[in-house]
Amino acid sequence: MHGLCALALVIAEGNVAVTAAGQEAPGEYDVKAAFVYNFIKFVTWPSGEEPAEGAMQLCILGDLPDAAPFDDIDGQEIMGKRLHIVHLREPLEARNCQALFLSSSLSRRLPDTLELLRGRPVLTIGDTNGYAQRGVMINMYLENKRVRFEINAESAGLAGLRISTKLLSLAGTVYGTERTGK
């Protein structure tokens, strides 16, 4: 529970301003982990696709500069399910995840990975420039030292996922609908 409180603090204070220097201030990946955690709340998976165990698997593919904040939210309850953070080695393993964080290190293998997941209701999330245009559903970026995100609604639609308009309205850019650009 401690992790969640820390996240809440992160969001509440300082307008999510991320300062690279401040040791005490929440780090970039603290905010990003909180964002990912909140993204899941505004996404609806197609019915019948939830895992039987009632778990929500948030998989992480590739290396992260700071994976600790993600491990902190492991085991939290979300949307009535238990959130599991799973670190993957192979893209093939991602087919059974509900959400998949694709790190920058995966940039080269991205098309293959996305191809593997085609038609699967897996929410793909990234934090690398151009990922949204390349088919990742939600992509975070920094703007004026603030974490923002863009959404590829088309990819989400193809995967059978529904992203809440509340989230869409907060996105800096939404691809794949009439509403493109900022």
Partner 1 sequence: MRTLKRELILVNIVTTGAAVLVSLALMFSVELRTGKESLAQDMTIKADIIGNQCTAALAFSAPWDAEEILTALRADGQIVYAAVYDRNGSLFAAYRRREGPADIPRRAPEKGRTFGSDHLDLTRPIVLDREQVGTISIRVGLERLREALLKYMTVSAAVLVVALLAAWTVLSRLQRTVTAPVTDLVRLMEGVTRDKDFSRRAERSGPEELASLSTSFNEMLTAIQSRDRDLERSLTELQEAYGKLKDLDRLKSDFISTVSHEFRTPVTSIKAFVGILSMKPNLTEERKKRILATINDESDRLTRLINDLLDLSRIESGVIQWRDQDMDMNEVVRAVISEILPLAQNKDISIEERTWEGLPLILADSDRLKQVVVNLMSNAIKFTPAGGLITVETFRRDSPAGVAVSITDTGSGILAEDLNRIFEKFHRTRSALTNAVEGTGIGLTICRSIVEHYGGSIWATSEHEKGSIFTFFLPQVRPPAIPESPGSQG
Site of interaction with partner 1 (CB under 8 A): 8, 11-12, 15-16, 35, 38, 41-42, 78-80, 164, 166-167, 169-170
50 or 93: CB nearest partner 1: 50
Q: Residue 139 in 3-state DSSP?
A: strand
Q: What minimum distance in Å lies between the beta carbon of 42 and partner 1?
A: 6
11 or 25: CB nearest partner 1: 11
Return d(Cα 61, Cα 76) in angstroms, integer.
20
Q: What minimum distance in Å lies between the beta carbon of 164 and partner 1?
A: 7
49 or 77: CB nearest partner 1: 77
Q: Which of 127, 130, 133, 165 is nearest to 31 (CA)?
A: 127
Return d(Cα 126, Cα 76) in angstroms, integer.
21
Residue 165: is it exposed, middle or buried by C-beta count within 10 angstroms (0-12/13-18/19+)? exposed
Q: What minimum distance in Å lies between the beta carbon of 167 and partner 1?
A: 5
164 or 180: CB nearest partner 1: 164
Judge whether 60 and 94 are in contact, CB under 8 Å: no
